[in-house]
Amino acid sequence: MLNKFWTFLIMVAIILAFWRSQPEVITQSVLDSTSASVKYAFELIGLMAFWLGVMNVAQKAGLVDLLAKIVQPLTRHIFPSLPKDHPALGFIVLNISANILGLGNAATPFGLKAMEEMQKCNNRKDTASDAMITFLVVNTSCIVIIPATIIGIRYAAGSAAPAEIVMTTFLATCVGMISALFLDSLVRRWKNRGDRTW
């Protein structure tokens, strides 16, 4: 669907450029955007390497296991269908930790592993379990305390104050996550009460 949407936008842009007799605008835009994307990618490598290293050190030092024990009451409440010592809970904590630091790319492998572990105890292999759906909700709407990637992009783009978005990002993601978890809980209760097949 998205491929069709982007194709439509590109075609409209090309038609408008030729209609206004400015085909050179397309070439210039392509060159500028590809050059900028390579520049930003190289400038973000250092930042991503630093935070991924921090996550790796924290994992090997046992800090992730400690964090998992601290947030266990919360994860047990959010994921009531998972057994107490289920391996997916550790990957869920790692995923949430990476998202809290604004490292969506680093969170992806942990999210995939969490889903893989949750699928093992899923009775209906062709349908996502309640825990899997809730995890998607948490992953998508996770609180971000340090939006490291966005700060890096703003810095690379020449922002005078790249970190000024920290508080607004934190407040917005708090509201988003609380709302998402509330709706997830509401829909799950409604579904289970009515015994409906989704």
pLDDT at position 147 is: 83
pLDDT at position 183 is: 92
pLDDT at position 194 is: 62
Which two three-digit tokens encode residue 40? 């930003």
Residues of the chain with pLDDT under 70: 1, 64-65, 67-68, 194-198
Cβ-count burial 77-96 (b if 16+ within 10 Å, e if not): ebbeebeeebbbbbbbbbbb
pLDDT at position 172 is: 94
Give the span between the Cα atoms of 3 and 163, in whole angstroms. 33
pLDDT at position 195 is: 55
pLDDT at position 198 is: 46
pLDDT at position 60 is: 82
pLDDT at position 5 is: 85
